[in-house]
């Protein structure tokens, strides 16, 4: 059964700003104003302020719990500039009549200054809900690991959170400075990723292929360029369009199958999978044989290309880290080769024309046959790496490849009292939030007026 | 006895009749499925529900969207393209579209337009974290020196290194990292790379404002007296420390002092790094000594099943109530209150 207080959680009629990344919430945030308080009694003003602020700050926490947590001691800090500390012992502030000597008008010398602070009052009143930020569930929400404080609470209750490496199932655990909390990566990805749309499965596939198509387009252009080069250099009648089409189809097929292999890679390799991999390689080989029969370039070149392709495809079953290393190596080698070629070209331009035409011809041949040239290989490799990091995987509870959920960026900020490492979904609660001159560290959507009134409510005086 | 209703006029009977008259296999014409709150001209000219067979049970028109809901839809249609996705190369807070809120101007780095005091401050980029990890773990620079060099809080430096170590371990173990998530978050937040020419990342010489010092205090002092920070601290209370004693990196003040006294900055800096290293080594040594002392008081007896650890305790430590917090065990007869109503059992510390 739904709880009564959740019935109009993001209502439009009586709007409340909540700790969520909801679009209704964003709309309500834009509509949030300090209400007109002049015609209200002081009690009413405080009541309004309290109910508004508590609707955001830990609305899932019972009022008596919050009252126990509330502290009238608001923490603040100031920066002490070491250079100032070294030069002055503070007695210059007590000189004159006890409140520092007055600056002479017209002089530019402002006297000793403690640098590193904003010139402005310290917003103490925005710090009322600082104790709330110490709660584990709120901290998880602030670290951007969950899309709402309630979801963060659920993560804790479901045992997906560890504090200092030990499982913690109390959402009300108050973090101590230096505590590290860590949330299960899969939970974070599910909470912050786009939801899986069962009826949009057909549509969910194209975005992944969209990206590949964009890359493909580039490749296609590259191939076209090379084809025209070949046509000019070797003066061979090459049907550029047909070659392009051929090339594209081959690439697409390759990619699809390679993706399958990537999926298999995630699991421990089994005999059956090894068999299918072998079968796949066999298929590639037969395809290439067929294309070889269609047009007949020199056999040695073809064998080279084939070997390269086979090596590339066998690389696909590597781990992401290995793949990255491979890609780096390939990149360095390519650069070296290019340098060498340039040097060679500089040494003897006219004498070496035959070799350059040869390489061009090799590229053209590869392109016309629907095989991969070197640059295309590297692009494919890079794409594979990205794919390995963010694979298409139907078994995940979120839409894959992973993308951040919609309407998330307006809510994305990390307060300074947390240090977050998103890669391992861990965060350290460095210290309690403090107010500094001109700055407060407690994320609160309310104006100082409202916060001050709420503070007065909880003071319980008069 | 209530009046009887003839069975033919009874509701269920009518319902049955209605159902029976519907020819089951014929599909419902599309026009009858059209939403009724938007009657078209054609449907108005010819009565829509002419045949009783396709007439639905309710004739109440569907509720129209309220004005608020319409406004929300309009807002979504207008601002959806802005906020649905990440703003490439910048933050994307609502202040973007609200130059004025609550009768005051806003800044683009304000996630909440009404609260000027809270800003979204930059976070360390991946490159910056790697730099910090490298200088601490590979180059072996003391934490204080790293903190001073990059203007990053010492606690943050320690946290970065701690989590980076976990990350590296996971990489070695081939455990999957949340890379797509990390890339996406990095695109949404303001970042700092900790390279030359950037503004300071955060203040590193913070001192906590003691609550005793938040009151106004009148201390009579002669005009000729040098009333320093230390005197002021003493005036506020015996336990209030002067700022000089509260500095997190006192070696930095030393360095500045030596520069004022005429040491070349380069030398002063080298001295600072040496001092920082020495103080950290001394701290580590103290900690080790403490651990050793605790270990010396303990006797370990290892059996094949358990390791028994014996320590000397004083039975009087439990105090008059028998419930002193730091004492071992409780006095015989003092009941354990852990089942009492309202007793909080959430742990306060995890080590």
Q: Note the pLDDT tens digit of each residue in A151-181.
A: 999 999 999 999 999 999 999 999 999 999 9
A217 and A126 both lie in a single domain: no
- pLDDT at position A5: 73
A26 and A66 both lie in a single domain: yes
Residue A115: partners with Cβ closer than 8 Å, 6 or more residues away: A79, A81, A83, A84
Contact A426 B166 (CB under 8 A): yes
A450 in Cβ contact with A53 (< 8 Å): yes
Q: Which residue of B has its CA nearest to A142?
A: B120
Residue-wise pLDDT for A279-331, tens only, equals 666 665 566 555 555 554 445 554 554 455 555 555 444 445 555 665 666 66
* CA separation for the pair B195, A196 (Å, rounded): 40
A347 and A242 both lie in a single domain: yes
Tell whether A266 is covered by a domain: yes
- pLDDT at position A428: 98
Write down the residue that tokens 């609660």 correspond to. Answer: A429
The confidence band for A352, taking pLDDT boundaries of 50, 70 and 90, is very low
Contact A409 B159 (CB under 8 A): no
Q: Which residues of A touch B83 (CB under 8 A)?
A: 23, 26, 407, 409-410
* CA separation for the pair B164, B128 (Å, rounded): 11
The confidence band for A124, taking pLDDT boundaries of 50, 70 and 90, is very high
B207 CB within 8 Å of a chain A CB: yes
Q: Which residues of B touch A87 (CB under 8 A)?
A: 256, 260
The confidence band for A200, taking pLDDT boundaries of 50, 70 and 90, is low
- pLDDT at position B18: 43
Min distance B117 CA to chain A CA atoms (Å) = 5
Question: Which residue out of B79, B91, B117, B241 would a mutagenesis test of the A interface target, given it has the greatest number of A Cβ atoms within 10 Å?
Answer: B117
A348 and A242 both lie in a single domain: yes
* CA separation for the pair A192, A183 (Å, rounded): 13
Strands of A160-240, DSSP E: 161-163, 166-167, 179-183
- pLDDT at position A261: 59
Tell whether A81 is covered by a domain: no
The domain containing residue A266 runs over which residues?
Answer: 201-389
DSSP letter string, A290-330 = HHHHHS---HHHHHHHHHHHHHHHHHTTS-HHHHHHHHHHH
Contact A416 B202 (CB under 8 A): yes
Residue A415 pLDDT > 90, yes or no? yes
Positions of chain B with pLDDT lower than 50, given as ranges: 5, 7-51
Tell whether A280 is covered by a domain: yes
CB-closest option in B178, B180, B350 to A164 = B350
Contact A430 B153 (CB under 8 A): yes
Contact B253 A188 (CB under 8 A): no
Contact B76 A23 (CB under 8 A): yes
Using CB atoms and an 8 Å cut-off, which of residues 166-195 of chain A contact chain B? 166, 168, 170, 172-174, 176-180, 185, 188-189, 192-193
Question: Which residue out of A392, A413, A431 would a mutagenesis test of the B interface target, given it has the greatest number of B Cβ atoms within 10 Å?
Answer: A413
A113 in Cβ contact with A93 (< 8 Å): no
A46 and A180 both lie in a single domain: yes
Task: Assign 3-class secondary structure to A57-126.
Answer: CCCCCCHHHHHHHCCCCCCEEEECCHHHHHHCCCHHHCCCCCCCCCCCCCCCCCCCCCCCCCCCCCCHHH
A355 and A418 both lie in a single domain: no
The confidence band for A15, taking pLDDT boundaries of 50, 70 and 90, is very high
A261 and A314 both lie in a single domain: yes
Q: Read off the CATH number of the domain in which A160 is found.
A: 3.10.290.10
Min distance A364 CA to chain B CA atoms (Å) = 36
A231 and A157 both lie in a single domain: no
A143 and A256 both lie in a single domain: no
Residue-wise pLDDT for A73-107, tens only, equals 999 999 999 999 999 998 888 877 766 776 666 66
Q: Which residues of B touch A164 (CB under 8 A)?
A: 350-351
Q: Which residues of A touch B260 (CB under 8 A)?
A: 86-87
Tell whether A252 is covered by a domain: yes
Min distance B350 CA to chain A CA atoms (Å) = 7
B68 in Cβ contact with A10 (< 8 Å): no
Q: Which residues of A touch B256 (CB under 8 A)?
A: 82-83, 85-87
How far CA B257 is from CA of A85, B74, B226, B261, B268, in Å, comes to 8, 62, 20, 6, 9
B235 CB within 8 Å of a chain A CB: no
A257 and A215 both lie in a single domain: yes
Other Cβ atoms less than 10 A from the Cβ of A281: the count is 14
Contact B114 A164 (CB under 8 A): no
Residue A87: partners with Cβ closer than 8 Å, 6 or more residues away: A112, B256, B260
Using CB atoms and an 8 Å cut-off, which of residues 197-256 of chain A contact chain B? none
Return the closest-CA partner of residue A34 out of A452, A437, A459.
A452
- pLDDT at position A387: 77
How far CA A21 is from CA of A15, A18, A142, A151, A175, in Å, comes to 15, 9, 11, 11, 23
* CA separation for the pair B268, A123 (Å, rounded): 37
Min distance A118 CA to chain B CA atoms (Å) = 11
Please give the mean pLDDT across all residues of chain A.
76
Using CB atoms and an 8 Å cut-off, which of residues 259-318 of chain B contact chain A? 259-260
More confident residue, A358 or A445: A445
A273 in Cβ contact with A265 (< 8 Å): no
Contact B159 A428 (CB under 8 A): yes
Q: Which residues of A touch B236 (CB under 8 A)?
A: none
What are A34's two structure tokens?
């300090």
Radius of gyration of chain A (CA): 32
- pLDDT at position A348: 46
Tell whether A400 is covered by a domain: no
Tell whether A294 is covered by a domain: yes
A208 and A183 both lie in a single domain: no
Contact A425 B181 (CB under 8 A): yes
Residue A380 pLDDT > 90, yes or no? no
Average pLDDT over residues A26-42: 95
CB-closest option in A29, A166, A402 to B94 = A29
Q: Which residues of A touch B127 (CB under 8 A)?
A: none
- pLDDT at position A279: 65
Q: Which residue of A has its CA nearest to B204?
A: A79
**Overall domain count for chain A:** 2
Sign of CA dihedral A142, A145, A148, A153: negative
Residue A213 pLDDT > 80, yes or no? no
A223 and A145 both lie in a single domain: no
Q: Which residues of B touch A173 (CB under 8 A)?
A: 346-347, 350
- pLDDT at position A7: 80
The confidence band for A275, taking pLDDT boundaries of 50, 70 and 90, is low
């Amino acid at each position: 059964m739904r709880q009564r207080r959740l019935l109009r959680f993001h209502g439009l009629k009586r709007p409340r700003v909540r700790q969520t990344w909801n679009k209704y919430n964003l709309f309500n945030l834009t509509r949030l104003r300090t209400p007109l308080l002049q015609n209200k009694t002081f009690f009413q003003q405080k009541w309004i302020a309290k109910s508004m602020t508590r609707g955001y700050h830990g609305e899932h926490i019972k009022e008596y719990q919050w009252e126990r947590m509330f502290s009238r001691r608001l923490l603040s800090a100031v920066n002490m500039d070491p250079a100032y500390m070294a030069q002055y012992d503070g007695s210059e502030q007590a000189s004159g009549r006890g409140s520092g000597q007055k600056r002479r008008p017209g002089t530019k010398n402002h006297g000793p200054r403690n640098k590193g602070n904003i010139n402005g009052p310290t917003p103490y009143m925005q710090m009322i809900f600082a104790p709330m930020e110490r709660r584990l569930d709120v901290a998880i929400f602030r670290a951007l690991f969950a899309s709402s404080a309630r979801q963060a609470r659920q993560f804790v209750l479901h045992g997906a959170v560890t504090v200092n490496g030990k499982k913690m199932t109390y959402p009300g655990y108050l973090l101590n400075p230096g505590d590290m909390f860590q949330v299960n990566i899969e939970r974070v990805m599910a909470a912050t990723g786009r939801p899986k749309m069962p009826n949009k499965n057909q549509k969910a596939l194209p975005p992944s292929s969209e990206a590949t198509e964009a890359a493909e387009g580039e490749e296609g252009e590259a191939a076209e360029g090379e084809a025209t080069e070949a046509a000019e250099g070797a003066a061979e009648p090459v049907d550029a369009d047909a070659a392009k089409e051929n090339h594209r189809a081959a690439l697409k097929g390759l990619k699809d199958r390679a993706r399958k292999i990537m999926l298999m890679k995630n699991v421990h390799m089994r005999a059956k999978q090894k068999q299918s991999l072998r079968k796949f390689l066999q298929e590639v080989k037969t395809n290439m044989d067929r294309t070889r029969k269609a047009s007949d370039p020199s056999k040695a070149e073809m064998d080279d290309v084939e070997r390269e392709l086979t090596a590339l495809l066998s690389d696909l079953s590597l781990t992401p880290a290995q793949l990255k290393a491979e890609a780096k190596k390939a990149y360095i080698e390519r650069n070296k080769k290019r340098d060498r070629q340039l040097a060679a070209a500089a040494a003897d331009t006219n004498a070496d024309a035959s070799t350059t035409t040869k390489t061009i011809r090799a590229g053209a041949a590869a392109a016309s046959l629907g095989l991969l040239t070197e640059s295309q290989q590297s692009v494919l490799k890079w794409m594979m790496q990205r794919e390995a990091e963010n694979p298409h995987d139907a078994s995940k509870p979120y839409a894959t490849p992973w993308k951040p959920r919609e309407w998330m960026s307006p809510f994305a900020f990390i307060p300074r009292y947390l240090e977050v490492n998103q890669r391992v979904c861990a965060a350290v609660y460095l210290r309690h939030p403090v107010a500094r001159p001109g700055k407060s560290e407690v994320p609160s959507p309310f104006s100082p007026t409202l916060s001050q009134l709420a503070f007065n409510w909880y003071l319980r005086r008069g | 006895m209530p009046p009887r209703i003839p069975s033919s006029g009874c509701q269920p009977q009518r319902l049955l009749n209605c159902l029976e008259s519907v020819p089951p296999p014929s599909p419902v014409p599309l026009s009858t499925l059209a939403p009724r709150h938007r009657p078209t001209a054609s449907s108005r000219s010819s009565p829509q529900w002419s045949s009783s067979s396709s007439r639905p049970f309710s004739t109440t028109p569907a509720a129209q969207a309220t004005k608020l809901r319409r406004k929300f839809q309009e807002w979504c249609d207008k601002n959806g393209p802005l906020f649905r996705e990440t703003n490439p190369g910048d933050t994307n807070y609502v202040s973007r579209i609200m130059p004025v809120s609550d009768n005051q101007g806003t800044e683009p780095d304000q996630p909440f337009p009404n609260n000027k005091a809270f800003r979204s401050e930059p976070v360390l980029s991946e490159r910056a974290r790697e730099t910090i990890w490298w200088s601490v773990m590979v180059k072996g620079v003391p934490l204080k020196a790293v903190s001073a060099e990059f203007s990053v809080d010492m606690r943050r430096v320690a946290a970065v290194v701690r989590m980076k170590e976990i990350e590296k371990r996971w990489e070695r173990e081939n455990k999957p990292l949340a890379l797509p998530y990390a890339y996406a978050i990095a695109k949404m937040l303001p970042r700092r790379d900790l390279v030359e020419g950037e503004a300071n990342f955060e203040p590193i010489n913070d001192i906590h404002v003691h609550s005793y010092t938040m009151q106004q205090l009148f201390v009579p002092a002669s005009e000729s007296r040098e009333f320093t920070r230390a005197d002021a601290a003493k005036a506020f209370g015996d336990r209030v420390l002067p700022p000089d004693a509260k500095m997190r990196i006192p070696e930095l003040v030393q360095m500045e002092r030596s520069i004022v006294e005429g040491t070349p900055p380069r030398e002063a800096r080298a001295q600072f790094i040496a001092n920082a290293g020495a103080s950290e080594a001394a701290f580590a040594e103290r900690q080790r000594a403490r651990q050793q002392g605790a270990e010396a008081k303990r006797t370990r007896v290892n059996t094949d099943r358990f390791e028994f650890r014996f320590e000397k305790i004083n039975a009087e430590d439990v105090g008059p109530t028998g419930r002193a917090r730091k004492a071992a065990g409780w006095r015989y007869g003092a009941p354990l209150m852990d089942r009492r109503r309202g007793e909080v059992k959430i742990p306060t510390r995890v080590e």
